[in-house]
Amino acid sequence: MGTLDGKVALVTAATGGIGRGIAEAFLAEGASVVMTGRSADKGEKALSEIGLPDRTAFLPGDARSQQDVAGWVASTVERFGRVDVLVNNAGGSDGFALVHELSDEAWENAFTFIVDSAFWATRAALGVMLEHGGGRIINISSVEGKLGNKAAVSHYISAKHAMNGFTKAVAFEYGTRGITSNAICPGAVETERTKEIGPAFAAENGLTYEEYLADYAKDAATGKLNTVEEVGAMAVLLAGPAGGGITGALLNVDGGTSPY
């Protein structure tokens, strides 16, 4: 028996990277998992590779669309009858620049993608969780949600700090009603998305992509990047029975990068 037998999880942006790692970790523990993503092709490919049609589903859409996000929660309930665990993994930023050159569009996109999407999904899921007597909210934040020591990513840093505050607010409001709310703050994890956006961010900091990865690794006490499996293991802890006493926490999976 797995620690998540009978549970239903909705994981946003789960066709690859950290989201995919969390989805697979949940499935290994017996949960049914609904994955979302912007690419229907990637979604179908993920379902085929996982090969558990009775316990998986994919929902297309954009986390920056309130209608899409609310629809994900409703469709999860329609498919599996409930939502026990919500993982707000979607989020990112673009238009990397120093503050005096940062565009309104880049700032707004980061907050919509990271903060608004988590709010919309959490608001919708809370209603379902309250009906069923409890649930788990897990926000995928970042080591940058605790630090502010990288240039050209003030929009990402600020949005992740906001996500951490939202995590604590939800924990306070719903702690007595069987719902926990926590954030995982990963260090650098090389994913498909990192490979897409990393070179541009590195260039803004005068680095090659390889130097950018090495810079993150040297900041960690372990001297290396983290893995999706490590983040997935933390998510399983928070989603399962052993995580019942943890709420309002901002939990590092960063190899010792953050000082707190």
> Which pLDDT tens digit goes with each residue over 81-122?
999 999 999 999 999 999 999 999 999 999 999 999 999 999
Asked if the model's pLDDT at residue 205 lies above 80, the reply is no
Catalytic option among 156, 174, 212, 216: 156
State residue 203's pLDDT score. Answer: 85
State residue 86's pLDDT score. Answer: 99
Could you list the residue range(s) of the whole structural domain that residue 44 is in? 8-189+227-252
State residue 95's pLDDT score. Answer: 94
| Both tokens assigned to 57 | 């589903």
Residue 197 counted as domain residue: no
| Both tokens assigned to 225 | 């990047």
Range 234-258 average pLDDT: 98
Residue 217 counted as domain residue: no
Residue 168 counted as domain residue: yes
State residue 181's pLDDT score. Answer: 99
Residue 205 counted as domain residue: no
pLDDT digits (tens, 9 = 90+) for 111-145: 999 999 999 999 999 999 999 999 999 999 999 99
Residue 215 counted as domain residue: no
Whether 156 is a known active-site residue: answer yes
Helix boundaries (H) for the chain: 17-28, 40-50, 66-80, 104-111, 117-131, 154-174, 192-204, 209-219, 228-239
Asked if the model's pLDDT at residue 204 lies above 80, the reply is no
Mean pLDDT of the chain: 96
CA–CA separation, 223 and 78 (whole Å): 45
Q: Which conformational region is residue 17 in: left (phi greater than 0), alpha (psi within -120 to 50 degrees), or beta?
A: left
By the 8 A CB rule, do 241 and 34 touch? no
The enclosing domain of 153 has a CATH number of 3.40.50.720
H or E element in which residue 75 lies: helix 66-80
CA–CA separation, 256 and 132 (whole Å): 37
By the 8 A CB rule, do 116 and 163 touch? no
Question: Most distant CA pair in the chain: distance in Å?
Answer: 54
Number of domains in the chain: 1
Range 226-246 average pLDDT: 98
Q: Which conformational region is residue 46 in: left (phi greater than 0), alpha (psi within -120 to 50 degrees), or beta?
A: alpha
Range 50-59 average pLDDT: 98
Range 147-164 average pLDDT: 96
Q: What three-state secondary structure class fits 182?
A: strand
pLDDT digits (tens, 9 = 90+) for 9-46: 999 999 999 999 999 999 999 999 999 999 999 999 99
Residue 173 counted as domain residue: yes
Split at pLDDT 50, 70, 90, the class of 220 is very high
